[in-house]
Amino acid sequence: MIKVLVSGAAGKMGREVIRAIKAESDMQIVGAVDIAQVGIDAGMDSGVGPLGIEIAKDLKTEISNTKPDVVIDFTHPSVAMANARTILEARVNAVIGTTGLTDNNLNDIKKLCSSNKVNCIVAPNFAIGAVLMMMFSKTAAKYMPNVEIIELHHDKKADAPSGTALKTAELILGSEAAKGLVKGKPAETEKLQGARGGSLKGIHIHSVRLPGFVASQEVIFGGVGQTLKIRHDSLSRESFMPGVIMAVRKVRSVDGLVYGLENLL
């Protein structure tokens, strides 16, 4: 039985995680942490019925009290690194879906895993279809290196661009065609600042934030007389749960930090 603590338990993703973990026969929820709904039964808050586990406020204390095998963190970019440090320094494996972690953060997490002899899976996106989209995009870039990314999320998402968009761009830049990426026209002028979106080493990324979306991304490749679009849509947060469950099962057997769910497929 894998003992799981959910950090961010009262959030939309946290509630979905609790429902998903509750349905697995080889997993047990032993703790729940959030700054909201403190003292409320985590099962009642997520709609699965009473679990006998009250939502606690302090992550470090709850880890000490419940001794989980794995902590799943879906919180906020502003606290993601602090939570990662708390979990790993407690010598507990982590599955982190909170986006907004920087390259320096990931380097620090790698060091924390090594020094504490634990593992951590960080995934910008846990939807299997989204991971396939990223992998297909990397392949397409070998043949059509002119590319832009449009990502669309709900209006409550705190960071832009999304971790998925950044990860997609990084995978494309790591492909054989990286040197052929279009860097933009030297004489290009933005009449409205930001109209061309952000740029990661020549790949333009455009972020849309509107109510109604969960998470969508379109990778558009342009070539002579043709375009190719690779798009993924998460229609509900349930789409992320198979990836989360897979990560929980595999985190204890990986080696240190694993960044990106594609490394588990």
pLDDT digits (tens, 9 = 90+) for 66-122: 999 999 999 999 999 999 999 999 999 999 999 889 999 999 999 999 999 999 999
In the chain the domains, ranked by start, together with CATH numbers, are 2-122+238-264 (3.40.50.720), 128-234 (3.30.360.10)
Go through the chain and tell me how many residues it has.
Answer: 265
pLDDT of residue 180: 65
Torsions phi, psi for 130 (to 5 deg): -70, -40
- pLDDT > 90: percent of the chain: 88
pLDDT of residue 187: 72
pLDDT of residue 223: 92
Cα-Cα-Cα-Cα torsion 94, 99, 101, 102, nearest 10 degrees, comes to: 140
Burial class (CB in 10 A: 0-12, 13-18, 19+), 101: buried
Nearest alpha-carbon partner for 237 in 126, 137, 82: 126
pLDDT of residue 83: 97
Q: Which residues are catalytic?
A: 153, 157
> Which stretches of the chain score pLDDT less than 70?
176-186
User: Would you give the end-to-end CA distance of the chain in angstroms?
Assistant: 23
DSSP the chain: -EEEEEETTTSHHHHHHHHHHHT-TTEEEEEEE-SSSTTSBHHHHHTS---S-BPBS-HHHHHHHH--SEEEE---HHHHHHHHHHHHHTT-EEEE------HHHHHHHHHHHHHHT--EEE-S---HHHHHHHHHHHHHTTT--EEEEEEEE-TT--SSS-HHHHHHHHHHHTSTTGGG-----TT---SSTTTT-EEETTEEEEEEE-TT-SEEEEEEEEETTEEEEEEEEE-SGGGGHHHHHHHHHHTTTS-SEEESGGGG-
